[in-house]
């Protein structure tokens, strides 16, 4: 009850917006559930500072607003800075929801990963180059450690709030120039199990490139959303039983893999990798045995990187990318994994 009163009061004192307040800029994205634009205010307000991102969404926008409001209050640093959400109009096509965020910057992890200079391009934007190590896998590993720590930190925030993202992928990770850290965006497919919101309709397609093999997060024993009060009482138990957060961990594991192995960064190679892994029954160690003997120099370099420091990176990777959700490490446990526990990291963490 308090939570709703707080939410209401907080909202009363925040600026409100409507359609005519905005001038739309460049289109940033378009999915089946909405269109995303860069936007600015048509008439500058006294409190206004700068640029926004505006999403026009279909009926699913209502849930996305709800998720963003919740994240904003509970774990604001995990996700892009949400400003406001409202119902604009109901057309023949159904309701149209508008969602507004602060513009965080131009770089998604997807864009950064596609550059030949990855991960040094990230080192530059996070730290402005300060490393004394020569270029090579050790330095690359340190940068990847920093990125992984930021991603797990953001994800742990969401999971501790009771939210599963379900669409974690490089396209949904933005580098926030203001906080000099990666944040998660796009809560359009997220589920909040503690309050019983939201169960995506069955026909909703998860991104097959990054989705864990279980596909649907809740087991078939919990086919529909219970009403809110019942869910609030039950869902911590459901959470424990089903470990729905481990769906996101699998996706983060694939991102780790792509960062460490340049040859797996392209879509086509990731899809091929997924096929191979499936044939290996999602056993990463079996996959390694399959491909390592005939590995390209690029692939071999990836294994070298994860094998640094006694193979601690490979250990973390294999504890994320596993067939059974319950055998995957949690975001919180991953943050405490010895992969992140190295002297050289101190220099990086001081900067954050």
Per CB under 6 A, residues contacting ligand ADP are 28-31, 33-34, 36, 53, 55, 80, 101, 103-105, 108, 171-172, 174, 185-186, 188
CA 268, CA 274: separation in Å to the nearest integer? 10
Minimum CB distance to Mg ion smaller for 172 or for 330: 172
Minimum CB distance to ligand ADP smaller for 60 or for 314: 60
Q: Choosing among Mg ion, ligand ADP, none, which partner's interface includes residue 28 (Cβ < 5 to 8 Å by kind)?
A: ligand ADP
Binding Mg ion by CB under 5 A: which of 58, 107, 108, 172?
A: 172
**Tokens 């131009």, residue?**
106
**Interaction between residue 186 and Mg ion (CB under 5 A):** yes
In this structure, what token pair is assigned to residue 348? 């990086």
Minimum CB distance to ligand ADP smaller for 141 or for 172: 172
For ligand ADP, the nearest residue by Cβ is: 29
CB 2, min distance to ligand ADP, A: 29
Closest CA to 171 of 73, 277, 263, 251: 251
Helix (H) or strand (E) holding 10: helix 2-12
CB 104, min distance to ligand ADP, A: 4
* Cis-peptide into 243, omega within 30 deg: no
CB 108, min distance to Mg ion, A: 9
Q: Choosing among ligand ADP, Mg ion, none, which partner's interface includes residue 123 (Cβ < 5 to 8 Å by kind)?
A: none
In this structure, what token pair is assigned to residue 321? 């990318």
Which residues are bridge partners to 37 per DSSP?
Answer: 27, 54
**Interaction between residue 68 and Mg ion (CB under 5 A):** no
Q: Is the dihedral of CA 271, 273, 276, 281 positive or negative?
A: negative
Minimum CB distance to ligand ADP smaller for 37 or for 287: 37
Q: Choosing among ligand ADP, Mg ion, none, which partner's interface includes residue 313 (Cβ < 5 to 8 Å by kind)?
A: none
CA 307, CA 313: separation in Å to the nearest integer? 6
Minimum CB distance to ligand ADP smaller for 58 or for 319: 58
**Interaction between residue 108 and Mg ion (CB under 5 A):** no
Instruction: Tell me whether residue 167 is one of the annotated catalytic residues.
Output: yes
Q: Contact region for Mg ion (CB under 5 A) — 42-50, 170-178, 238-246, 341-349?
A: 170-178
CB 37, min distance to ligand ADP, A: 9
Give the x/- contact pattern for Mg ion in 126-145, rule: CB under 5 A. Answer: --------------------
Q: CB neighbours of 120 closer than 8 A, spacing ≥ 6? A: 135, 140, 143
CA 64, CA 80: separation in Å to the nearest integer? 13
For residues 277-311, one letter each, b for 16 or more C-beta atoms within 10 angstroms of the residue's C-beta and e for the rest, the string is beebebbbeebbeebeeeeeeebebbbebbebbee
Q: Yes or no: say if 270 and 233 are a contact pair by the CB < 8 Å rule.
A: no
Instruction: Give the active site residue among 81, 156, 167, 245.
Output: 167
Kindly list the catalytic residues.
167
| Residues of the shown chain interacting with Mg ion in the complex, contacts defined by CB under 5 A | 172, 186
């Amino acid at each position: 009850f308090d939570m709703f009163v707080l939410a209401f009061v907080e909202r009363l004192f925040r600026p409100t917006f409507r359609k005519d307040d905005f001038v739309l800029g460049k289109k940033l994205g378009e999915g089946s559930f909405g269109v995303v634009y860069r936007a600015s205010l048509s008439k500058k307000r006294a409190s206004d500072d700068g640029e926004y991102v505006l999403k026009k969404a279909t009926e699913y926008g209502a849930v996305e607003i709800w998720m963003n409001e919740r994240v904003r209050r509970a774990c604001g640093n995990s996700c892009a800075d949400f400003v406001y959400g409202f119902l604009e109009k109901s057309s023949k096509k159904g309701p149209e929801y508008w969602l507004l965020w602060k513009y965080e910057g131009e770089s998604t992890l997807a864009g950064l990963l596609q550059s030949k200079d990855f991960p040094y391009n990230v080192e530059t934007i996070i730290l402005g180059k300060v490393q004394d190590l020569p270029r090579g896998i050790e330095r690359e590993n340190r940068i990847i450690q920093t990125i992984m720590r930021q991603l797990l930190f953001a994800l742990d925030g969401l999971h501790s709030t009771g939210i599963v993202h379900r669409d974690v992928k490089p396209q949904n990770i933005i580098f926030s120039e203001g906080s000099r850290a990666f944040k998660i965006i796009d809560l359009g497919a997220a589920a909040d199990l503690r309050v019983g919101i939201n169960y995506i309709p069955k026909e909703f397609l998860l991104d097959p490139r990054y989705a864990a093999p279980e596909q649907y997060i809740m087991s078939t024993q919990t086919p529909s959303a219970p009403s809110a009060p019942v869910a609030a009482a039950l869902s911590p138990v459901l959470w424990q039983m089903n470990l729905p957060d481990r769906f996101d961990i699998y996706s983060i594991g694939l991102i780790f893999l792509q960062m460490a192995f340049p040859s797996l960064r392209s879509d086509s190679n990731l899809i091929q990798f997924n096929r191979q892994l499936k044939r290996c029954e999602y056993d990463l160690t079996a996959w390694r045995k399959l491909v390592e003997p005939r590995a390209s120099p690029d692939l071999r370099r990836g294994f070298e990187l994860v094998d640094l420091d006694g193979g601690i990176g490979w250990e973390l990777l294999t504890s994320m990318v596993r067939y059974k959700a319950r055998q995957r490490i949690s975001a919180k446990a991953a943050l405490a994994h010895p992969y992140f526990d190295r002297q050289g990291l101190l220099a990086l963490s001081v900067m954050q």
